[in-house]
């Protein structure tokens, strides 16, 4: 993409009403624009990151054998009466009346509708296990929306639902989701720690939240510092293997890590003192096993191996897709702007032309643009007639991990400059070498070589 043809409204001044850095930078980098309280338009740069994150979620869900569907945003209140949630949900549910005076709602979550799909089409245990998921816009009518996309009213979420014959099978689905979530977050450059969460009125202790440590997090978290040493990495996993998935679950959830909702001071004190940490975290996902709560209320039964009907065991599993942009920025930025991890960057590299209009510099930039594009990478070329300082400030703010700087002086020596946004370190090299280096870097991330 050439900046002269793009729509990247970078703000010169820091927006005053944004209280946290991700909100401020998303506005300042021209990623979002508020449409109403807690409701945002996603401008080109923001939408591009949103799509990258969405693609990663889809890819990891597919690997886990989960199947994508799409449910509507507007649903009938009748279904929600079957589960009892229509009256129970409170003011955060956006209630709507259509032209025929039918009571509808903008769905904040879809347990009822997915259970209805299941009961309409599945009647035998032979069709199990089954996990259906979607990535769709949701609405939660927050009383006081704030922090930009972190606590908005209209938000983009992945919500998945497993259907299993037995509690054991459902707990395997639970573990499978935990594994797939660990992989998903790591691909985005995030460490998200599974923490025992509040199970609420359901009972049991089968729910975990995934939290990203960040000063601006809404939750206070208590953990054994040893959990931050755990990474899933690129190990192989067979999602059908019950023991393998259970082992990952155990590895990642045995050490103490809880939010204030479930914090247990006595247990925490058993952790060696030097490893006891108290910090703040941002919730970016949650997994849940809730048994037969919805299947019993809504009659979602299958014929078991013995021919008798049994209600299916279910769970819900969510990833806050739009919220992740905020969480990633909270976890990865500096005073000059965003620092995108390679896995989610909107463009793989920026090209800055120090002297637009100089025939040699223009030609070198065009050649780099073509070579990167042909290698399957997406460059963002700042081809505007602006001063170098302004171009650098824009690139720093929008946070592309790599920048190639091209100027007449370097070209005389046959070199351009490759700069890491994260370390700020620059290295001079031939243009072809810069392209080769970027191809290598992104190959390691398996990006842009689809």
For residue 36, report the phi and psi dihedrals to the nearest 5 degrees: -145, 175
Tell me if 448 contacts a second copy by CB under 8 A: no
Q: Among residue numbers 201 through 220, which ones bind a second copy (CB under 8 A)?
A: none
Which of 132, 193, 397, 398 lies at the binding interface for a second copy (CB under 8 A)?
Answer: 132
3-class DSSP state for residue 125? helix
Taking the least distance from each CB to a second copy, the nearer of 118 and 232 is: 118
Determine the angle formed by the axes of helices 242-253 and 167-187, rounding to 10 degrees: 60
Other C-beta atoms lying within 10 Å of the C-beta of residue 277? 18
Find the shortest distance in angstroms from Cβ 323 to a second copy.
15
Q: Measuring CA to CA, which residue among 403, 440, 342, 285 is closest to residue 49?
A: 342
CA distance 115 to 295: 7
- 104 interacts with a second copy by CB under 8 A: yes
| Binding residue for a second copy, selected from 25, 80, 86, 106, defined by CB under 8 A | 106
Q: Does 374 bind a second copy (CB under 8 A)?
A: no
- Using DSSP's 3-state secondary structure scheme, residue 111 falls into helix
Choice from 12, 13, 16, 99 touching a second copy (CB under 8 A): 99
Which one of 3, 25, 40, 180 is in contact with a second copy (CB under 8 A)? 40
- Answer yes or no whether residue 200 interacts with a second copy by CB under 8 A: no
> Does residue 312 interact with a second copy by CB under 8 A?
no
CA–CA dist 178, 320 (Å, integer): 15
Task: Say whether 435 sits in a helix, a strand or coil.
Answer: helix
- Reported for 54-58, long-range contacts at CB under 8 A and 24+ positions apart, including other chains, are 54/135, 54/156, 54/321, 56/184, 56/187, 56/188, 56/343, 56/344, 57/135, 57/158, 57/184, 57/319, 57/321, 58/135
| Residue 442 is a binding residue for a second copy (CB under 8 A) | no
* Binding test (CB under 8 A) with a second copy, winner from 19, 74, 87, 408: 74
Minimum CB separation of residue 182 from a second copy in Å reads 22
Of residues 13, 91, 274, 440, which one binds a second copy by CB under 8 A? Answer: 91
Out of 12, 16, 143, 235, which residue is the one contacting a second copy (CB under 8 A)? 143
- Which position among 17, 19, 72, 363 is part of the footprint of a second copy (CB under 8 A)? 72
Tell me if residue 17 falls in helix, strand or coil: coil
279 binds a second copy (CB under 8 A): no
For residues 149 and 206, give the distance between their C-alpha atoms in angstroms, rounded to a whole number. Answer: 28
* Contact region with a second copy (CB under 8 A), list: 126-134, 219-227, 241-249, 299-307: 126-134
Looking at beta carbons only, is 2 or 437 nearer to a second copy?
2
Coil, strand or helix at 47: helix
- What's the closest the beta carbon of residue 47 comes to a second copy, in angstroms? 5
DSSP 286-313: EEEEEETHHHHHHT-EEE-TTS-EEEPE
CA dihedral sign of residues 29, 32, 35, 39: negative
Measured CA to CA in angstroms, residue 7 lies from 132, 222, 395 at distances of 36, 43, 14
Q: Establish if 177 lies at the interface with a second copy (CB under 8 A).
A: no
Residue of 20, 21, 29, 43 that binds a second copy (CB under 8 A): 43
Shortest distance (Å) from residue 51 CB to a second copy: 8
Please check whether residue 217 is in contact with residue 193, taking contact to mean a CB–CB distance below 8 angstroms: no
CA distance 91 to 223: 34
Nearer to a second copy, 121 or 235 (CB): 121
Closest approach, Cβ 376 to a second copy, in A, equals: 9
Choose the stretch contacting a second copy; rule: CB under 8 A; options: 95-103, 184-192, 194-202, 311-319. Answer: 95-103
Assess 98 for contact with a second copy (CB under 8 A): yes
Q: Counting contacts by CB under 8 A, is residue 412 touching a second copy?
A: no
Task: Provide the minimum distance between the beta carbon of 32 and a second copy in the complex, in angstroms, as a whole number.
Answer: 10
Q: Count the residues of the shown chain that bind a second copy, applying the rule CB under 8 A.
A: 53
User: 226-229, long-range: CB within 8 Å, 24+ apart, which pairs?
Assistant: 226/255, 226/275, 227/193, 227/252, 227/255, 227/256, 227/257, 228/191, 228/193
Residue 83 lies near a second copy (rule: CB under 8 A): no
Binding site for a second copy (CB under 8 A): 5-7, 9, 30, 33, 35-36, 39-44, 47-48, 50, 65, 67-76, 91-92, 94, 96, 98-99, 102, 104, 106, 113, 116-117, 120-122, 127, 130, 132, 137, 139, 141, 143, 153-154, 450
């Amino acid at each position: 993409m050439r900046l002269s043809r793009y729509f990247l409204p970078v703000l010169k001044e820091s927006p005053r009403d944004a209280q946290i850095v991700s909100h401020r930078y998303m506005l300042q980098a021209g990623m979002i624009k508020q449409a109403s309280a807690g409701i945002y338009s996603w401008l080109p740069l923001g939408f591009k990151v949103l799509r990258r994150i969405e693609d990663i979620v889809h890819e990891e869900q597919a690997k886990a054998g989960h199947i994508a569907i799409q449910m509507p945003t507007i649903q009938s209140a009748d279904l929600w009466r079957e589960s009892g949630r229509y009256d129970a949900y409170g003011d955060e549910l956006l209630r709507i009346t259509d032209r025929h005076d039918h009571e509808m709602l903008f769905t904040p979550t879809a347990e009822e509708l997915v259970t209805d799909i299941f009961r309409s089409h599945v009647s035998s245990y032979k069709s199990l296990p089954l996990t259906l998921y979607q990535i769709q816009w949701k609405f939660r009518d927050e009383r006081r929306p704030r922090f930009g996309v972190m606590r908005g009213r209209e938000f983009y979420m992945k919500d998945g639902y497993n259907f299993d014959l037995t509690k054991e099978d459902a707990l395997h689905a639970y573990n499978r989701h935990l594994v797939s979530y660990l992989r998903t977050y790591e691909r985005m450059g995030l460490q998200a720690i599974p923490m025992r969460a509040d199970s609420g009125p359901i009972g049991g202790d089968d729910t975990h939240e995934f939290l990203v440590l960040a000063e601006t997090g809404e939750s206070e978290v208590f953990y054994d510092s040893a959990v931050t040493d755990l990474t899933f990495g690129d190990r192989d996993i067979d999602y059908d293997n019950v023991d393998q998935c259970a082992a990952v679950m155990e590895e990642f959830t045995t050490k103490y890590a809880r939010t204030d909702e479930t914090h247990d001071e006595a247990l925490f004190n058993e952790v060696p003192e030097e490893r006891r940490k108290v910090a703040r975290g941002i919730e970016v996902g949650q997994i849940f096993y809730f048994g037969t709560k919805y299947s019993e209320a809504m009659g979602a039964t299958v014929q078991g191996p013995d021919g008798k009907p049994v209600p299916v065991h279910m769970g819900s599993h969510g990833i806050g897709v739009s919220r992740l942009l905020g969480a990633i920025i909270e976890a990865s930025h500096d005073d000059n702007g965003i620092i995108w991890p390679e896995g989610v960057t909107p463009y793989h590299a920026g090209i800055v032309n120090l002297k637009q209009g100089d025939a040699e510099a223009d030609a070198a930039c065009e050649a780099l643009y073509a070579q990167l594009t042909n290698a399957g990478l997406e460059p963002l070329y700042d081809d505007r007639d602006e001063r170098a300082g302004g171009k650098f400030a824009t690139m720093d703010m929008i946070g592309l991990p790599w920048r190639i700087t091209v100027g007449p002086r370097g070209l005389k020596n046959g070199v351009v400059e490759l700069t890491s946004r994260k370390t700020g370190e620059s290295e001079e090299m031939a243009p072809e070498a810069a392209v080769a280096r970027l191809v290598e870097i992104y190959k390691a991330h398996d990006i842009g070589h689809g």
